Amino acid sequence: MSQELERVYTIPLGKVKLSQSQHRAVRAINMIKEFARHHMKVENIKIEEDLAKHIWARGVRSPPRKVRVRMSKTDEGFILVSQYDGEVEVATPAKETKKVEDKVEEPTVEKVVAEEPAKEAPKKETPAKEAPKKETPAKETPKKD
């Protein structure tokens, strides 16, 4: 499946909040399809399952306010709308892929010694104050005559 045309859009879905709370996720899906028809000039729109799950993840009442999508025009003549995952395919020239291992510095012993905090004198331990013990008088037993 070769892709002729591919674009990345951020679709604002803020107007979804104007509809009834029980129809918001459905309206968000319809808004995505409408946005794709308008920008890609094709009537056949298919939304990928991952994007639909993302819209419905928080339920019908609270879809996301905006969504980042990738729209791809396929050979079959329809637009495939999928969730944008952030990976951008960029070709880099071979000259820029040099190894940079030579420039890595290892910390020397002198730097490590200078970075250690100065040792403080040990603190004297003071014995914990003990509460004076109270002597309880012995109870006298009553004598019978």
What angle, rounded to 10 degrees, do the helices at 24-40 and 49-56 form?
140
User: pLDDT value at position 87?
Assistant: 67
What three-state secondary structure class fits 115?
A: helix
* pTM score: 0.58
User: pLDDT value at position 24?
Assistant: 97
Phi, psi of 64 (to 5 degrees): -65, 155
**What are the structural domains, with CATH classification, of the chain?**
3-83 (3.10.440.10)
- Tell me how far apart the alpha carbons of residues 93 and 77 are, in angstroms, rounded to a whole number: 34
* Tokens 């990976």 sit on residue: 87
User: pLDDT value at position 27?
Assistant: 97
Structural tokens at position 63: 């879809």
Instruction: Answer whether 46's CB lies under 8 Å from 34's CB.
Output: no
Separation in Å, CA 128 to CA 13, 93, 131: 67, 72, 9
End-to-end CA distance of the chain: 116
User: pLDDT value at position 141?
Assistant: 73
Strand (E) positions, the chain?
3-12, 45-47, 66-74, 79-83
Q: What average pLDDT values come out for the chain (145 residues) when binned by 10 residues? A: 77 96 97 96 96 97 97 93 78 52 54 54 63 67 70
